[in-house]
Chain A
Amino acid sequence: MAAAPVTCVRLTTSMHTNQIVGKSSTMRIVPMGRVKSGFPCLRTSRFRISCSAKPETVNKVSEIVKTQLALSADTVVTPDSKLSTLGADSLDTVEIVMTLEEEFGISVEEENSQNITTVQEAADLIESLVEKKNATA
């Protein structure tokens, strides 16, 4: 699946008025037939518009993943990189989640940690949990 190139739509949500608490921040839109005007024109037939995490968050996650998996400095880790294809087993994934919890001051429930398969997903989840934490602080 290709992520929408260049144009990353960032939806700002007000946690008090929009009732998005607890939902995944990633939307997947599959256009049927012609793509409506206003959307970027893409060669692929499926694309994802996500409430993307800040680059700093993605970078931090990548750093933590690289450390946990002892990846060489020249290993390319992108937001779409899957933890399993980088060599993470279940114990690695749990260690990564725990390190992320400590780093960002959040708590990840088991059902959410199971859904973390890529760097992007981890970063998005972190940001939604940080937002939620800040909103209730």
Chain B
Amino acid sequence: MFCTSALSPLQLPSRMETHLWYVLPNEVKSQSLLSQYVDLLSPLEKDHVFSMRGEELQKSALLARALVRTTIARYQIHSRVSPRSLVFRKNAHGKPEVIWEQSDDWHPPPLHFNLSHTSSLIACGVTVGSPIGIDVEEKQRTMKSNILSFAKRYFSCEEVEVLSAISDPEVQRHEFIKLWTLKEAYVKALGTGFSGAPFNTFTIRFGVANPNPEDSAIVIVPLEKPTNLTTNWQFAQVQLAGSHYAAICRQNDGLPGGASMKVIVRKTIPLVEEHCVPSIVPVDD
């Protein structure tokens, strides 16, 4: 993978690509750097960050906003776009989007983004020409509830069957987490909120009986007829930093033969550095 140094021009993703950026809060220790991030934020964002309980949550919220602002500005879309100048709003269902400054001589690119964070990793996915949803979870995340009880309550019957068939509890827990991230990524891509696509109204189906690394085999199967749910979406699953599962969902541009999503992963410290990392598809641990 080619590495780019900070501040050199970065091309927007092509319509065939998805860019995935992530930052590890543990690697951001400098107080002066964190202050620089605070300076990038809007007053509302600052209020939100400082309303979080405790330093760790505040830092995570701060990094999330710094990541999305610096990432979008990295594509050097327009000389007037800087991390600080970007304006965000939420759509009718609460999904964040950029409001571009429009003028007669400039039309913004159809850039889409979506954020997800855990306490130990924050990620931002970027696409051009397609809505995107991403979700990240720690591989080691434990559930307070019983996994099958949870799945029976919230997932589809087919998904419960797949999970029930896994005898090793650790493998079952990993597969549950991956399935959760896929479902979350889809609902976030749709942008209509949890109630717009309740988890038990669709199945995430893999190409064969057991989940496998072939992303092109993942499909959405709506369970209600008629349904409002669209199915022209494709998924990718990647592992980040050896510690997190990430799921990405974006529209399927009618690519022939169900080609896999091309994902370019970059690890970054906003304003400081970034480098490409190989995109790793999760295998059974």
A residues at B contact (CB < 8 Å): 67-68, 75, 82, 85-87, 89-91, 94-95, 98-99, 101, 109-111, 113-114
Contacts and interface: CB of A to CB of B under 8 A. Distances in A.
B144 A86 contact: no
A110 B184 contact: no
A68 B144 contact: yes
Interface of B: 51-54, 57, 117-119, 137, 141, 143-145, 149-150, 153-154, 180, 184, 193-195, 198-199
B198 A110 contact: yes
A90 B141 CA distance: 13
Contact of B145 (A89, A99, A110, A113): A99
Contacts of B145: 95, 98-99
A95 B153 contact: no
Contacts of A90: 184, 194
Nearest to B137: A91
A114 B195 CA distance: 7
A42 B150 CA distance: 45
Contacts of B149: 98
With most chain B CB atoms within 10 A of its CB, the pick from A67, A75, A85, A99 is: A85
A98 B150 contact: yes
B144 A114 contact: no
Contacts of B150: 94-95, 98
A91 B194 contact: no
Contacts of B141: 91
16 contacts: A68-B144, A82-B51, A85-B51, A85-B53, A85-B57, A87-B57, A87-B119, A90-B184, A91-B141, A94-B154, A98-B150, A98-B154, A101-B153, A110-B194, A110-B195, A114-B193
Contacts, number: 45
Nearest to B141: A91
Given A95-B144, A101-B153, A114-B195, 7 more contacts: A67-B144, A75-B53, A85-B53, A85-B57, A87-B54, A98-B153, A110-B194
A36 B101 CA distance: 45
A85 B153 CA distance: 26
B198 to A, nearest CB: 4
With most chain B CB atoms within 10 A of its CB, the pick from A82, A86, A90, A95 is: A90
B178 to A, nearest CB: 13
Contacts of A67: 144
A107 to B, nearest CB: 9
Contact of B143 (A75, A86, A87, A95): A95
Contacts of A101: 153
Contacts of B198: 110
A87 B143 CA distance: 15
Contacts of B54: 87
B194 A114 contact: yes
Contacts of B137: 91
Contacts of B52: 85, 87
A67 B144 CA distance: 9
A96 to B, nearest CB: 9
Contacts of A113: 194
Nearest to A113: B194
With most chain B CB atoms within 10 A of its CB, the pick from A68, A82, A86, A91 is: A91
A89 B53 contact: no
Contacts of B154: 94, 98
